[in-house]
Every structure is written in structure tokens, then in C-alpha cells.
Structure 1
Amino acid sequence: MELGRRERKKQQTKAAISEVATMLFLERGFDAVTVAEVARAADVAVQTVFNHFPAKEDLFFDEEGWWRGPARAVRESAGDPLDALEAHYLASIRERLAVGHLATWKQFVRTIEASPALLARRRMQTEELVQTLATALDERSDERVRNRLLAAQYAAAQNLFEEELLRILPDDASGDELVEAQQQLEQVVAEVFAILRKGMGSETV
């Protein structure tokens, strides 16, 4: 029970640090905020921050293993991998709206684009996404080249969805505008996956 309390305390501390860091990064930009400033704002020692987040970039990309989600979705589905990937992305959009994060997603993307360090980390995560997704597809089919093409196209589609989000979602969007933006983005997702299905052929992987 004591270990359970300690673990909960660790998770609470980590969540509090992450929340403070995200607020500062979105307000001032990633490169303008130091780890020491995050520690002061969270009322913890700098070493405590590093105990939970080995690098400053980890404070921003604090969603553990998001890039492994597509591969997991394919493994957990017995159907067409493209159906699984589309459902996975739509679920992520709806979850963001449900927990109130869709409104900050646009600012999140802009913060990444303004920071060379975050862009570099995002590239690494995208590369891992492609590799893990291709491996999951390999488990379903021996069409190695096709699997890697599909994985790369999915990663490219995610970039397109973010570009469309920046175009669709108004700054300081109201609740109704958030719902409308979600609906428009879901239409884009449907269109992109229709194109992917046509390009990859009608046969399932």
C-alpha cells in the first residue's frame, strides 16, 4: 500500500510538472523557457524535473509513446489495417475534443513549428512511427515494400491533418466552433483515407 501511495505521488508530481511546462511553452515558446523556470513554476527542484523527464523535449512531448499507437491499432484489429488506422485517428480527434484539448492543439502545432529542437524530436518520433507501423503490417502480410509505403503514407497523412487543423480551427474558438472544426477535420480524414484505399488498391493488407 505504501508503494502504491508513493507511485501515485510520483505520477501526481509528474503530471503537475507537465501541466506547468506545457502552459509556459505554449505561452512563450519552447526555446524561450528553461527547465529551471519550469521547476520554479512547479515548485520542485530542477533535479526532480529531470527525474521525470530526461530531456527538455520530453516535457513537451509528454504523451508516452503516441507514435506507437498506429502499430498497436493494427495489431488489435482483425480487419483492414486502413480501417484500423482511420478509426484510431478519429478516436484521437474525438478524445481531444472530449477532454478540452482540441482548442490547444493548434497552438501545440505552432509551438513545434517554431522550435528547431521540437521539430527534430518530432522527426525522430515520426521515423519510429513509420518503423513500428511497418513492422506491425509485416506481421499481417509479407508485402514488405507495400507495408513500408503504407506506413510512410500514414505518417504523411498525419502531417496533412495538422496542416488542415491550422486552417480550419479559429483562434480562441468557441465550443460550437470546436465541434464544427472537429466535423470538418473528420471529413478531411475520410477523404484522405478514401484516397489511400484507392492508391493502395481495394485488397486488404
Structure 2
Amino acid sequence: MGLRERKKRETVERITGAALALFVERGFDAVTIAEVAEAADVAVNTVYHHFRVKEDLVLPPDEASAGRLAGIVRQRAPGVSAAGAVLAHLRGEIRRRERTIGLTPGFGRVLPMMLAAPTLAARLRDLGEQMVGELTEVLFEETGADRADPVPGLVSAQIGWVHSLLYAEIGKRTVAGEQPDDIAKAAEDLLDAVEGLLGARVLTYATRKGT
């Protein structure tokens, strides 16, 4: 990473850190962009340069992307199904304790703030629907299914449900004050249980051909 990129990353991290601290302390709606800029010691225009809207400070588009599930499925290896790719990816994120899955220190304070803010809660709901929609398009493209076929949408909905269920479980345990290692173990156990319940049609659908 070059000097310019490193400084950009440091500025973004300073802004998001200051913003989250203020949002958790006072609530998302009670904090202005000007206050975030002051706390981060940057200009208001600098905040808007990196974050298009206030909600992006909590849910950055590069992390909270509507293309998340579709991207995971597009990158799967030969012999791997759509559901198999997502399940394996989620397990990897859990084991690495990644921020995208909510397994980071302090998330237990951030999540209630997010759910208490109507615009953030709505964005989370919309994001889940958009993920399923984009994944459905990928499955139609890759399977060549007729547009009247309900199966790609149904498989996408099942995968989206697993994704949402996992986030809800991690969030619930985080808010309850459980330790990250215990949460991660429970999350992996949940995925194992879900995989055992999903039918073979879902688990093998859109298996990528090749060796």
C-alpha cells in the first residue's frame, strides 16, 4: 500500500471510529456530520468525500454490499454449489473473527444503536432483500433456468435466510455479553444444524461444472 492510500485509510478509520463512538454514546439520529468531523479533526467536506450519506459511516458500501452473496457464489470453485460456497465462506469469516460477520470487540454496543435508528434498521432490511435479488439473478444466469422457474428465487431465499439467521444469532449473543470465542462456536454449530436441515436440492443446486 502506497503512502497516499495508507493516509486515506487512516483518515477513513479515524472518521468511522469517531462516528461510532458518538453514535453509541448519543444515538445515531442525535449526532450531526459536523460533530463527527470535529471529533475526527477533519473538515466536513472530508467526511462527505469518503462517505456519501451519514448511514455509510455505520454500513460502508464496500462492507455492507447488496452484491455480497452474489459475489461469493460467482467466485466459487468447480464442484461447489451456490449454498456450499456461501456456507464455506461464512464459516471462514467466523474462524477469522471478521468484522463483516460482527465478531469484533465493541459490536455489542454498536448493534443496539443500529437497530434503534429507523434509517439504519430499514437499510439493513433492504440490504437483505437486495442480496437475495442479486443472488437470484446470478442463479438464473448460471443455470440457464427459464424466467418462469421459481427455483432460483427459492434457493436464493433459503441462502439469504441462512445468512440473516447467522447474523441474528451473532447479534443476539453479542448483545447478551457473550465472549467472541463462545459466539463463534455457537455460530458454527448453528451453520452445522442448518446445513443438516437443508434439502439436497438446495445444497446441490447450481454446482459449478469442471474439475
TM-score band, normalised by the shorter chain?
0.7 to 0.9
Q: What amino acid is the match of 2:123? A: R
- Separation (CA, whole Å) in 1 of partners of 2:116 and 2:174: 19
Residue in structure 1 matching 2:14, options 13, 16, 21: 16
Q: What amino acid is the match of 2:154? A: L
- Separation (CA, whole Å) in 2 of partners of 1:75 and 1:58: 25
- SS for the counterpart of 1:64 is coil
Deviations 1:103-132 (A, max 9, x none): 433333322211101012222322321122
1:59: Cα distance to partner?
0.7
Deviations 1:9-46 (A, max 9, x none): 22321221112212222333212221111111000111
Gaps of 5+ in 2: 207-211
Aligned to 1:40: 38
Q: TM-score, normalised by structure 1?
A: 0.82
CA gap of 1:17–1:190, structure 2 versus 1, over 3 A, is same
Residue in structure 2 matching 1:164, options 169, 173, 177: 169
CA gap of 1:139–1:86, structure 2 versus 1, over 3 A, is same
CA gap of 1:47–1:65, structure 2 versus 1, over 3 A, is same
Q: What amino acid is the match of 1:183? A: K
Aligned to 2:151: 146
Q: Contact 2:108–2:171 at 8 Å: present in 1 too?
A: yes
Residue in structure 1 matching 2:109, options 107, 110, 116: 107
Higher helix fraction (1 or 2): 1
55-64 or 147-156, which moves further after superposition?
147-156
CA gap of 1:170–1:9, structure 2 versus 1, over 3 A, is closer
Kindly report which structure 2 residues correspond to 1:68-79, keeping only aligned pairs within 5 A, or say none. Answer: 68-77=67-76, 78=78, 79=80
- Separation (CA, whole Å) in 2 of partners of 1:102 and 1:19: 13
Aligned to 1:80: 81
Q: Contact 1:14–1:52 at 8 Å: present in 2 too?
A: yes
> How many aligned positions are there?
199
Q: TM-score, normalised by structure 2?
A: 0.80
- Separation (CA, whole Å) in 2 of partners of 1:13 and 1:202: 43
1:154: Cα distance to partner?
2.3
Q: What amino acid is the match of 1:159? A: S
- Separation (CA, whole Å) in 2 of partners of 1:106 and 1:14: 22
